[in-house]
Amino acid sequence: MNRTTRRMGKGILGLFFGAALAVLALPAEGQGGGEALYKTKCAGCHGADGKGQTAVGKANNIRDLGSADVQAQGDDAIAGIISGGKGKMPAYGKSLKADQIKDLVAYIRTLKK
Ligand code: HEC
């Protein structure tokens, strides 16, 4: 291998990583902040899929967030539960901004069956 081919090799490697990064970054950007927030703040109790199949979820009979019953509630009602809490559900009105709660409601809508 001479110098030129070695440099070319690095260039191709760079292209490869660049493309891989771009592919990884795309889905995260497309779905907005709601999904990321949900995964860090809510999935611990509600489960990554919103079904509530976690220890806390089962102990509290959390309803499946994608179920017709939950989805029948208006955006304001769901946002109200997130910001004000309900039973064992913590209130997030102080730790999250109104926009973030809106993003979460939008994400919960994507869980609809
Ligand atoms: C500590 C566990 C816990 C965490 C964390 C949590 N929840 Fe909950 N959540 C609950 C419980 C328990 C209920 C059921 C409350 C009830 O019906 O008495 C609930 C209910 C809900 C409901 C109402 C569902 C229905 O039955 O109508 C929504 C919407 C909701 N949570 C969204 C969220 C979002 C969004 C987050 C993250 C910001 C979150 N929750 C974080 C425990 C949690």
Q: pLDDT by residue (tens digit) across 32-60? A: 699 999 999 999 999 999 999 999 999 99
For ligand 1, the distance from its centroid to the CA atom of residue 18, given in whole angstroms, is 39
What is the C-alpha separation between 44 and 90, in angstroms, rounded?
12
* Residue 44 CB less than 6 A away from ligand 1: yes
Q: What mean pLDDT, rounded, does the chain reach?
A: 86
pTM for this predicted structure: 0.80
The count of other CB atoms within 10 Å of the CB of residue 92 is 20
Q: What's domain 32-110's superfamily in CATH?
A: Cytochrome c-like domain (1.10.760.10)
pLDDT value at residue 113:
86
Percent of the chain with pLDDT over 90: 71
The domain ranges of the chain are 1-30, 32-110
pLDDT value at residue 28:
43
Atom of ligand 1 nearest to the CA of 105: 35
- SS in 3 state form for 20-74? HHHHHHHHHHHCHHHHHHHHHHHHHHHCCCCCCCCHHHHHCCCCCCCCHHHHCCC
In the chain, what is the straight-line distance between the N-terminal and C-terminal CA atoms, in Å? 57
